[in-house]
Amino acid sequence: MDTSTQYDRIVKHCQQLFTKKTADYGTAWRIMRLPSITDQLYIKAQRIRTLEDKKVSKVGEGVTEEYVAIVNYCVIAVMQLEMGLQGDDNLPIATVGQKYDQVIQETKELMFAKNHDYGEAWRDMRLTSLTDLILTKIYRVKQIEDNQGATMVSEGVKANYQDMLNYAIFALIKLGIADSKS
């Protein structure tokens, strides 16, 4: 199976969960400031790292669910960046779905551009390295947030959220999720 098909299968799985949670909770995430989303990403990535090191989960959910959460929180972060905190907090599910698709499409295009240059090196990486890269990106975003968004030569927070999203999808592909989802 090619990367595009695997990517799309993972996204479909993540988006279905996101849509169901939106039906249950509405768009309560609209009140979240970006640093709060970044902290949620940190919690998820740190839990993955702990599970990778300890190999035991005491709450039942494993790394797969956490990577899915990272995908969806990254989508939320990019949507919040684009919409801002002001505005409608109760978005219709159809609108949320369209915005989700827009974020994914742009992020997938970025992935293909980088894959071209890097030759799909992620396929030869260890899963733990993808987790570490996500954590590194989170620390970068936290520093940018602490600097009130100012960077001198570095990419901004959106590119970091997109990279984290792509790393989480790569991890889910490596975990075989794309092979089991239709």
Tokens linked to 176: 């075989």
Provide the 8-state DSSP code for 120: S
Q: Note the pTM of the prediction, 2 decimals.
A: 0.92
pLDDT score recorded for residue 87: 67
Burial of 12 (0-12, 13-18, 19+ CB in 10 A): middle
pLDDT score recorded for residue 109: 92
pLDDT score recorded for residue 69: 98
Work out the widest C-alpha separation in the chain, in whole angstroms. Answer: 43
Tokens linked to 17: 């969960």
- Structure confidence by residue, pLDDT tens digits, 31-51: 999 999 999 999 999 999 999
Give the integer Cα–Cα distance in Å for 45 and 132.
Answer: 8
- Structure confidence by residue, pLDDT tens digits, 118-154: 888 999 999 999 999 999 999 999 999 999 887 788 8
Give the integer Cα–Cα distance in Å for 170 and 74.
Answer: 14
Q: How far is CA 10 from the centre of its chain?
A: 11
CA distances from 30 to 42, 48, 106, 137, 175 (A): 19, 25, 21, 22, 31
- Structure confidence by residue, pLDDT tens digits, 46-88: 999 999 998 776 777 789 999 999 999 999 999 999 998 776 7
Closest to 74 in 3D by CA, of 142, 153, 166, 170:
166
Burial of 153 (0-12, 13-18, 19+ CB in 10 A): exposed
> Which of 64 and 156 is assigned the larger pLDDT?
64
Q: What angle do CA 37, 39, 42 make, to 5 degrees?
A: 115
